[in-house]
Structure 1
Amino acid sequence: MQAGNANPGRKTGMRFGPPSGPAGRLTSLEIEAKNRSLFCRSGFVQQTQRIWYPLPFFLCHLFALLIYGSWLFEPTRALWNTLDSELFFLLNGLLANGDPWPTFWAAANTKAADIVTGLVMILFFFIFIFTGPKTLRIERLSMFGIMSGMILLSQDGGLVDLYSRIIAVVRPSPSLVLEPVYRLSELVPHIKAKDAAYSSFPGDHGIVTMIWVGCIWFFASWRWGVAATLIGALILLPRMVAGAHWLSDNMVGSSLLALLMVAWILCTPLTYYLQRLGIWVLGFILPRSWGTTQQA
């Protein structure tokens, strides 16, 4: 029989206090805490995350059903058609005022402008990352990685191709259907601006923007979400001014896919484990001080 430890403050294999669970087993909460410690032993876990978000999951599907249902249901589809045409004539009519507006909107519909808007979205997220507490930077960088993966997954060759085959909607853009129309390719021929599309539904530009806005709303506070929504509206505006997309291309086609992706990626355990993995990987790359939790 071994003698008891003379120094109770010394770390040993003994557990002080009552046993954990029946027959000394660890409770589920203790197992989770132990797994968290083993998985992120570098100290980069900042807060306890929920694995499931049932209410946002339900609301995303509800909004997707209402939006797409309103577009398929004939009486409300007539309202969408009216909104589409009236907004097109309103926005495209701005080009009738002459320079500098045609030049401005033509420049805003180029590939270079797409790169600029992409950089704006990245910069916005990085401001969110680096204006918060230093100890949350690793966690927020992992959020950025999840958002980037969602956007890549939605591109050509990914979910958007499957989505397009399922919804089976092919329609030309308003600049090819409605009259009168002011075409940027005719008003400003020296700028290669996108002002038409033979298949404009869903809006690929809109899918990226909607996913970005959805991620900001999910990961950040409502103030960041409102700001992202306003920026997103400005990003989508040039295509609608030029007549390359209908309003419903973005509000129905793009938002439907974005809502489903937010629901099944962000509101399920998938994003929980992806973020845990991202935190673990970034913990070996970035300064340890970025993830140091405050000691009690």
Structure 2
Amino acid sequence: MKNLRLSAILALNALGLALFFSWYLPPGHGYWFVIDSNIFHFFNQALVKSHTFLLLVAVTNNRVFDGISLLAMGSLFFSFWRKESATGRRRMFIMGIVMLFCAVIINQLGHLIPESHVSPSLYFTDIYRVSELLHFPTKDASKDSFPGDHGLMLLIFTGFMLRYFGKKAFGIAVIIFLIFMMPRMMIGAHWFTDIFVGSLSIALVCLPWVLLTPISDGLISLLDRYLPERSNTNN
């Protein structure tokens, strides 16, 4: 079993590294830049073809929409929490703490990558900016969009769902990830590769060492041992 887990960890790491270097090594990022450019310009042109699409993109990149993404993740987590006993609920609460802790550490490690760039909305000229087309508070640009922090957080959540709650929870988490990352690309605040190369490669390299080794279970057990219990746990 240990050998199988180590093989899985190394395979996922190799996949993540291959993905990253396929983007990082070629001059001008090779074919990845063509993909990035085509995706950005497709959505950018759509902004002026449909006012409904323009409004949708503006609203889904408002800060309130970030709160909805947290609500979506919380709802999935709560769907399992409510079925648990008092002991199980305590363990899930601690799992949430561990997940947040790991997310902070992995995100910081991701920013050690010697690469940064502006979002496509700042890179290209003669393009449309949602903030200029509408008087509506929305995020349509970033001076440092690589890797995608929001995408990485969602991928870490997705990994924890697979590890502790199975394939169905994983499938729902993937849908949440896609729903809440697409607006970032549609508005031009992120390149496609910020998320599907940057965020994904970091998750593939770091997350297996947390979830496929005793680290996550050990942290949960450690906090379970030392965090005080509520006197009304059974209520």
Confirm or deny a common fold (TM above 0.5). yes
1:258 to partner: Cα distance: 2.2
Matched, 1:181 2:127: yes
Letter in 2 for 1:182: Y
Match of 1:218 in 2: 163
Aligned residues: CA RMSD: 2.8
Q: Give me the identity figure in percent.
A: 28
Farther-moved stretch of structure 1 (264-273 vs 168-177):
264-273
Looking at structure 2, the residues matched to 286 and 86 of structure 1 have their Cα atoms a distance apart, in angstroms, of 58
Partner of 1:108: 60
Q: How does the TM-score come out when normalised to structure 1?
A: 0.69
User: More deviation in 109-118 or 127-136?
Assistant: 127-136
Within 2, Cα distance between the matches of 1:70 and 1:254? 14
Distance 1:181 1:76, change over 3 A: closer
Aligned residue number for residue 40 of structure 1: none
Which residue does the alignment assign to 1:152? 104
Say if 2:69 and 2:176, in contact at 8 Å, map to a contact too: no
- Equivalent of 2:30, from 78, 91, 98? 78
With 216-225 and 127-136 compared, the bigger mean Cα shift is at 127-136
The residue number in structure 1 matching 2:43 is: 91
Instruction: Pick the aligned partner of 1:139 from 87, 91, 94.
Output: 91
- Trace 1:144-293 onto structure 2 (pairs within 5 A): 144-154=96-106, 159-160=108-109, 163-164=110-111, 166-189=112-135, 191-281=136-226, 284-285=229-230
Q: Distance in 2 between matches of 1:225 and 1:118?
A: 16
Find the aligned partners of 1:286 and 1:235 in 2 and give their Cα distance. Answer: 38
Q: How many residues align?
A: 233
Uncovered stretches (5+) of structure 2, i.e. residues with no partner: none
Q: 2 CA distance for matches of 1:286 and 1:183?
A: 54
Are the counterparts in 2 of residues 143 and 219 from structure 1 also a CA contact under 8 Å? no
Stretches of 4+ aligned residues off by more than 6 angstroms? none
Q: Is the 8 A contact 2:151 2:199 kept in 1?
A: yes
